[in-house]
Amino acid sequence: MASKKPIISLTEIKKDYQTGDVTTQVLKGISLSIYPGDFVAITGPSGSGKSTLMNIVGVLDTPTHGKYILNGSDITDLSEDELADVRNREIGFVFQSFNLLSRASALENVCLPAIYAGTSSKDREEKAMQLLTKVGLAERVHNKPNQLSGGQQQRVAIARALMNNPEIILADEPTGNLDTKSGDDVMNILKELNKNGKTIILITHEHDIAKQAKKIIHIKDGLIIN
């Protein structure tokens, strides 16, 4: 059963972008609570602000106004270095374009977050092997991205996201570049992770993908509409 204390709490989050003399307000006051063990899909049309919201939730960008409490800590005014540390510890990322290093093997790609965290070489390789096995790629650990299908690359990305054992997995259009079968495989892995206690936040414009989450949050014109 989910805890009553949110793992993510956003209060009146606004985000403005300045281009010359023109200010564009992308988020117009988003208040949102996500609880441990939630599986939330954030949807909305192109230009709705969902990507900007994802960047703020993922600590990749900072709000112009408002408060962000992550795992009980106010991270609104942290420095860039402090935010990078929070990102590496608290959140695992899965992107539509996989974001794998082309010259590195699957194993080396999965090890990356643990290098930044200062984990020993032996420990990180053991953990990476376990994670690649978990996502069904035990036979592919030495393959480079161009030797893997799109679905296999996304499974490498999921293993990498799990490397530092974050509580939150943030998946941005994770099935967007995949065929139906590979997309289903990725969604089944995310659902299994959620069943085992991970909090999943999924950004998608695909209705069939969104409805597999436990909650759907719809954004339009920078505001939550339901």
Residue 190, C-beta contacts closer than 8 angstroms, at least 6 positions apart: 39, 158, 169, 171, 174, 200, 202
CATH at 96: 3.40.50.300
pTM of the model: 0.91
State the pLDDT at residue 4: 77
**pLDDT of 45-80, one tens digit each?**
988 999 999 999 999 999 999 999 999 999 998 999
Does 78 fall in a domain?
Answer: no
- Tell me if 186 is assigned to some domain: yes
Mean pLDDT of the chain: 93
The answer to whether residue 177 sits within a structural domain is yes
Domain of residue 45: give its range: 35-60+88-224
Q: Pinpoint the alpha helices (H) of 32-142.
A: 50-57, 80-90, 106-116, 121-134
Look at residue 84 and tell me whether its pLDDT is greater than 50.
Answer: yes
* Within-domain flag for 11: no
What is the number of structural domains in the chain? 1
CB-count exposure of residue 197 (10 Å: 0-12, 13-18, 19+): exposed
| Contact by Cβ (8 Å): 50, 170 | no
Going by pLDDT thresholds of 50, 70 and 90, the confidence category of residue 31 is very high
In a domain, 8, yes or no: no
* pLDDT recorded at residue 209: 94
75 phi and psi, to 5 degrees?
Answer: -105, 10
4 belongs to a structural domain: no
* Domain-embedded: residue 56: yes
The pLDDT-based confidence of 10 (bands split at 50, 70, 90) is very high
Q: What is the pLDDT of residue 3?
A: 47
Within a domain: residue 17?
no
The rounded radius of gyration (Å) of the Cα atoms in the chain is 18
Does the pLDDT of residue 2 top 60, yes or no?
Answer: no
